[in-house]
Structure formats: structure tokens, C-alpha cells
Copies of this chain bind each other. A is one copy, B any other.
Amino acid sequence: MTNMYKTEAIGKVSKEAPFEKITIGREGTSNNDVEIDVKYCGFCHTDIHLVNNDWGFTTFPSVGGHEVAGVAVKVGSNVKDIKVGDHVGVGYFLDSCLCCEYCENNDEINCIKGVTLTSCGQIQHGRVKTDNGNYTYGGWSKKMTVDRRFLSKIPKTYPLEKAGPASCAGVTMYTPLNEHGACKGGLKIGIAGLGGLGQMGVLLSKAMGNHVTVISSSDGKKEMAKELGADHYVSQNEEEAMKSLEKSMDLIIDTIPASHDINPPLNLVKKKGTYVVVGPAPEPFKVAAFKLIADQVRITGTLTGGLKMTQECIDFMAENNIVQKTEMINSLQEMNCASKEIIKGNSSGVRYVIDMEKLLS
């Protein structure tokens, strides 16, 4: 017995092809599922890497989208805490083993067997099925069916068109802030880089009651840092200003996606402080043993977070009216333009969001 259904989506049939409308098949597999009318879905650099097979594991046709915001339209009989009409979100992944030590600790993103990515991910674990049998189609589609465990509830008070990035950039920044004590406030926090992740980091850290310094090498970001509410801005190029902040911060989150020397911002971390890498810099960081020994800084990283963190993050963002600047995409033409902007390096920090209903109408 199958309950496969057809739905429209935005996909690519090859790396070189433009984005186009395609029809895909998804299956609702159990009474634990929620069927979603997708209203909005983010569009970011990760999507482009995935749909273009930049990382070598994508099969075509590929459908991107991992910052999904929609409305529940069918709810499986076992799902007690979501009802038809509720707003729901899907993030970077939509399945995991649910029985390893990480899954059991609500930290599904670290599943030992690996999560199933929402877009272009290899299907395993059994909670998601598509007509190709092997890989997932992302959220750039009219409908999705997702196991309740891998959904978050979006408060109705939160603007749905802003909610997509919360499931990705939001939780990516919320998780290390939570893990390293920033939720209680009172820490000195540095945010290195001020793209989409960095901006989210400033907004969240400030709302939690911390003192926030933006560290950037591009002076154009100074004004933006101020607008976002950062307490302080320091340019990495100003040696004296950097010197004056040495060993002053409890926590730095490095969101810089380009190759860079980690040591100038690392020197701003207090002894025993924490440096979290979230930006996928391509070249390895170099860190001296002496630095680790003398200052006992802790260097680590974050790859989004589990569903518990995601829900906490969205609730926190709703309570504190945290929204990111977004730019709406309403047509395939706009999507192809935005794609070029993103590949060039979107320094404005605006998050692109696709209005799925308009685009697929």
C-alpha cells in the first residue's frame, strides 16, 4: 500500500540547467507525519551547493530548500501536539536514527548514523520516502510530509515569511550560545563576520542580555553592527583596537565563510574562554600548541542543532521579536538572479525567502 502523492516543486535537472518547475512524488509514511502546505522557504548558499552537486553527492533532478515555513494541512493520528492550521517549520534535516546517544539526547543533528538532509539527502532511517526511492527533495515545493519529531511549531505571533531562516541560521547561532552559557546573559561575546549568521548572532546574543562586539574586516559593517544593536565594533585591521580587546571575551562565534587566520579573533578570547566556528572556511586553521596550553581556550564548532534547540530558538525569537531582514523572491526569474548574487557573495546579509505559493501559482 502506498500513499504517494504528486506535488509541484522548483528543481534543477542538471548543474547547468536553470531553476524550473518540476513535478515530484512524496509519500506520507506513517501516522506520525504532518503534511505541510509550504508557504515560504529560504534560499541560501548551501541550497546552491546542494542542488548543483558541488559536494558530489547530489542526484538530479534536485530540489533545494531547508528553511521551510508552512501550515499543517493533515496530521497523523499519533500526533497530539500539532493540529491542522498550525504553523510549522522544517530545517536542515528531516530524519535520523532516533536511537543513538545523540538522538536520545535531543541532539539529532549529531546522529551517529547521520541525519537525512532535507534536500538532496540520502534516504535512510525510514521516516521519509520520495518517488525516486533514494534521496530527498527539499522544501521548494507545494507540499511536504515530515515526521512530527523533525518539525518545529512556529508561534502564530511570529511572521511566517520570516520563520524559515530561524530553522537554520537561527538554530546554528542559538545552539552555541545556549551551550556556552550565553542564554543567561552577562557574557562578553564576539561575533566574527556579519553575514546572515553573524547578524542572527548579534540579535540573539543581545536579546539574551550579553555585551556584544562585532569583529569584522570590512568597515562597511560598522553601521550595520550598530543598527543590529551591537555594543561595540572592532575592525580586525586596526591593530591597536584589537590589542585593547585581548583576552576580554568569554565567547566568540566565528561565522566567516572564507579562509582566514583564526588567531587575531582568537586572541580576544579570555583564558578558558570558548571559540566556536560555524563558518565553513575552506582552508584549515592554524593554532599553536603554546596558545592552547597557555590560555586553555576551547576551540569547537557547531552544525545547526537538534529539534529541541530549534524549538527553543523559534520560541525565543518570537518572544523577543527577532526577525532578520529578508528579501522576497516571487518568480523563477528573480530566483535565477538571486542565485547569481548569492554565488558572488551576498555581503548585504539579507536572507532570500521564496514565496512558494506565488512562485508555483
Interface residues in chain A, defined as those with a beta carbon under 8 Å from any beta carbon in chain B = 102, 110, 112, 247, 271-272, 277-282, 284-303
Contacts and interface: CB of A to CB of B under 8 A. Distances in A.
The 10 A-B residue pairs with the shortest CB-CB distance in the complex, in nearest-first order: A292-B301, A293-B301, A284-B286, A281-B289, A298-B300, A277-B292, A299-B299, A284-B288, A293-B303, A110-B271
Contacts of A271: 102, 110, 112
B287 A299 contact: yes
12 contacts: A102-B271, A110-B272, A112-B271, A277-B293, A282-B289, A284-B287, A285-B288, A285-B289, A293-B303, A296-B300, A296-B301, A296-B303
Contacts of A277: 289, 292-293
A145 B234 CA distance: 46
Contacts of A291: 301
Interface centre among A271, A281, A289, A294 (most CB of B within 10 A): A289
Given A280-B293, A292-B300, A296-B301, 10 more contacts: A102-B271, A102-B272, A110-B272, A277-B292, A277-B293, A279-B289, A282-B289, A285-B287, A297-B301, A298-B298
Nearest to A110: B271
Q: How many copies does the complex hold?
A: 2
Contact of A299 (B272, B279, B292, B295): B292
A66 B283 CA distance: 40
A293 B302 contact: yes
A284 B261 CA distance: 12
Contacts of A287: 284-285, 287, 299
Contacts of A282: 289
A338 to B, nearest CB: 25
A288 B259 CA distance: 10
A257 to B, nearest CB: 9
A301 B281 contact: no
Nearest to A285: B287
Contact of A294 (B102, B290, B295, B303): B303
A297 B302 CA distance: 9
Contacts of A298: 298-300
Contacts of A272: 102, 110
Nearest to A263: B284
A37 to B, nearest CB: 32
A114 to B, nearest CB: 10
A300 B303 contact: no
A300 B301 contact: no
Contacts of A303: 293-294, 296
B299 A300 contact: yes
Contacts of A301: 289, 291-297
Contacts of A293: 277-278, 280, 301-303
A285 B288 CA distance: 6
Contacts of A286: 284-286
A297 to B, nearest CB: 7
Contacts of A295: 301
A272 B111 CA distance: 12
Nearest to A281: B289
A276 B110 CA distance: 21
